[in-house]
Structure 1
Amino acid sequence: MDTIKALLFSFFHLLFFLSGQQQQVLGHRQLYGFRPTKIFVFGDSYVDTGNIPKSVLGSWKEPYGLTFPGKPAGRFSDGRVLTDYLARFVGIKSPIAYRWRKIALKNLKYGMNFAFGGTGVFDTLVANPNMTTQIDFFQQVIKEAVYSPADLKSSLALVSAAGNDYSTYVAVNGSAEGFQPFITKVVNQLTLNMKRIHGLGVRKILVPSLPPLGCLPQSTSKLSFQQCNETENSLSGFHNLLLQQAVAKLNNETKDSAFVILDLFGAFMTTFKNKGSSKTENPLMPCCVGIGKDSSCGSVDDNGVKLYTVCAKPEASFFWDGVHPSQEGWQSVYSALKPKLQQIYC
């Protein structure tokens, strides 16, 4: 990993700054007057609200869900995640997780969440459905007439790819030379996925930019949680630059400004600069951390003894664990994104 970082640094560093400049001018066509009544969600743990099987260690295990709803509920946080805040902004309940669609029928009217934690645009190290398969699920739901064409026309999609493809690339010893083409491949497939969702009848597609990967606690732990890894942030910058270009092209092709980037990278960085809310002390330090080399938040030994610690005040942490924001963190990100959302929908 260190060798890959060193080889990529000079290339991605420049593109990172280019991405920041381009972010100001691309993807800003307005969508005035659109009032969605449903949300359809695709992607990973940043937006998953309960699709992961309960047998899997993580979002269904303590201490996840500590803040909301007070017990593990399938969210990779101590509480609410990005999906919940977008639903709040739209004025509807958070869409039902796909795996619960036959149990909570009354909630189908708010849309459906097809996201699975740990997944990517392509297959990752987890066995959960990748984004293409998630869209297959969506297409099948449409064929079953759960949603009418009118329902789809009044809906929006949230499409999240927060970095699992890249962690998988590194884990399987992907070469430094192949990193740039792989990022291009990921963005190209993500673009095809968004176009497919739009083609199925969803009117508006929101796609978050890649967050600053070098600011996640799994990276900043090596720096005592004091600063971000700019080499990894450069990777995010290159991904986001390509995404901006792809979205601009899609909007030119559709002529209806259907695709909008949510600047997750900028929202994270703004929050770090402002140290989150007034309650947040060190925004780079997670609340829940594993004890020992191979443990993580939620880990227990064979006797059920906890192999993790939880901070006294989750509301004072931007990050919940090594990768995911806390509810307070997502609240801060939502606050940073809200002006853009208001610009689009008001």
Structure 2
Amino acid sequence: MIGFSERPWLVAVLLMVSIVQCVNVALGSQKVPAMFVFGDSIVDVGNNNYLRSYAKCNYPPYGIDYPGGPSGRFSNGKNIVDMLGDMLGLPSPPAYADPSTTGAKIVGGVNYASAAGGILDETGRHYGEKYSLSQQVLNFENTLNQLRTMLDGAALSRYLAGSIAVMVIGSNDYISNYLLPSLYPSSYTYSPQDYGNLLINRYARQILALNSVGLRKFFLAGIPPLGCIPNQRARSQYPDRCVDSVNQMLGTFNEGLRSLVQQLNSNHPGSIFIYGNTYGAMGDILNNPAAYGFSVVDNACCGIGRNQGEITCIPFLVPCPDRTRQVFWDAFHLTQAASSVLTQRAFYGPPSDCYPINIQQMAQL
């Protein structure tokens, strides 16, 4: 009797049949067959683990509340994209850079997000390797080539049209570019208004590129109030309050993204674009913390100089004991508890004024 090891072609055929069956199940069993994630460290699930980057967190105490421990998520536990997957009935998409992310593992979607990555290619370069948004779109095209080997044209079109693209990016273009004048010339070259417009124009190109290859459902998150994160507070003369000048410069980007969403919905009637008001949702959490179960909003749970949270949590540092009461995990990122509230408010909360549905309602279309 000839075993599989002696007939490698048979193994390949059976594997391909299994993958196609998985795709067909995904298409037939739920409204959203897959979620494709583009963004930065807010939604990175471990891509930077495989890059030559200083922007990594695959060590304790990161993941202290995550099943299996440190994973490359910049949190004590789950991040926003994990929670979105739970709500949509999808597994959290695997990291693109993981060599095992191939075949059947890509059926439910892929996560391309990269810590330190931004809309501009140069953003975050001082951290080493990262996937900028343009590279993330190219990485998606590599995934698309794999999907073309699994599905015929009609099935692939239905699969992509039913999938959701979640895009959470832009924060690093400020905190790891514009607000670092000693490393980047952007603040000398552009006014805050011109810089925000530059980002929106570059962002629009990548959104349209993804739309042109078949994705039809987009959730585009705005930038939260960066002037309130511990990193920016620590740089201020008044760390006990948010840096208003930083928050004000984000207005051009967020208003531009809101306008872009309106324009995209008008010009692409076969697609759906939703603006996620993360600025407003996060602002409400910070202004009314007790309403959401939080008591600490002005410093990080983990990081040297915890009272100001001026740097990211270093390996094996002991974090605060009660992460449920803290909004910020480290100098840049939210705790699992705060991410949960933000997801409910910005992604599943009241529909935005740019499109009269939220992401859960979009998933049903």
* Whole-angstrom distance in 2 between the partners of 1:108 and 1:78: 26
Structure 1 length-normalised TM: 0.81
Q: Does 1:320 align with 2:314?
A: no
Question: Residue 154 of structure 1 aligns with which residue?
Answer: 162
Aligned residue type for 1:140: N
Question: Residue 343 of structure 2 aligns with which residue?
Answer: 334
* Whole-angstrom distance in 2 between the partners of 1:258 and 1:266: 22
1:113-192 matches, cutoff 5 A? 113-123=111-121, 124=123, 125=125, 126=127, 127-144=129-146, 145=148, 148-167=156-175, 168-171=177-180, 172-176=184-188, 178-179=190-191, 180-192=193-205
Question: Residue 76 of structure 1 aligns with which residue?
Answer: 74
* Whole-angstrom distance in 1 between the partners of 2:48 and 2:115: 7
The number of residues matched between the two structures is 307
- Report deviation, 1:290: 1.7
* Whole-angstrom distance in 2 between the partners of 1:99 and 1:217: 30
Q: 2:257 aligns with which of 243, 246, 260?
A: 243
- Report deviation, 1:343: 4.8
Q: Does 1:230 align with 2:232?
A: no
Is residue 35–residue 90 contact of structure 1 (8 Å, CA) maintained in 2? no
Is residue 96–residue 104 contact of structure 1 (8 Å, CA) maintained in 2? no
Q: Does 1:39 align with 2:39?
A: no
Gapped regions of structure 2 (runs ≥ 5): 1-29, 352-357
Aligned residue type for 2:195: F
1:4-83 matches, cutoff 5 A? 35-53=31-49, 56-57=53-54, 58-83=56-81
* Whole-angstrom distance in 2 between the partners of 1:63 and 1:313: 13
* Whole-angstrom distance in 1 between the partners of 2:48 and 2:293: 31
* Whole-angstrom distance in 2 between the partners of 1:44 and 1:175: 21
Instruction: Pick closer, same or farther for the CA change 1:103–1:198 going to 2, 3 Å.
Output: closer
Is residue 276–residue 332 contact of structure 1 (8 Å, CA) maintained in 2? no
- Report deviation, 1:315: 1.6
CA deviations over 1:231-283 (Å, ceiling 9, x no partner): 11111212101111111111111023521111111110111122066541122
Moved more, 308-317 or 318-327: 308-317
Instruction: Pick closer, same or farther for the CA change 1:276–1:198 going to 2, 3 Å.
Output: farther
Aligned residue type for 1:47: V
Structure 2 length-normalised TM: 0.77
Instruction: Pick closer, same or farther for the CA change 1:194–1:317 going to 2, 3 Å.
Output: same
* Whole-angstrom distance in 1 between the partners of 2:239 and 2:102: 41
* Whole-angstrom distance in 1 between the partners of 2:43 and 2:252: 22
CA deviations over 1:185-232 (Å, ceiling 9, x no partner): 111111111111111111101110111111111122346653211111
Whichever of the two has the greater Rg, that structure is 2
CA RMSD of aligned residues (A): 2.5
Moved more, 61-70 or 142-151: 142-151
* Whole-angstrom distance in 2 between the partners of 1:245 and 1:238: 10
Q: Does 1:216 align with 2:229?
A: yes
Question: Residue 204 of structure 1 aligns with which residue?
Answer: 217
Sequence identity, in percent? 25
Flag the structure with more relative contact order, 1 or 2, with Cα contacts below 8 A and sequence separation at least 6. 1
Gapped regions of structure 1 (runs ≥ 5): 1-33, 301-305
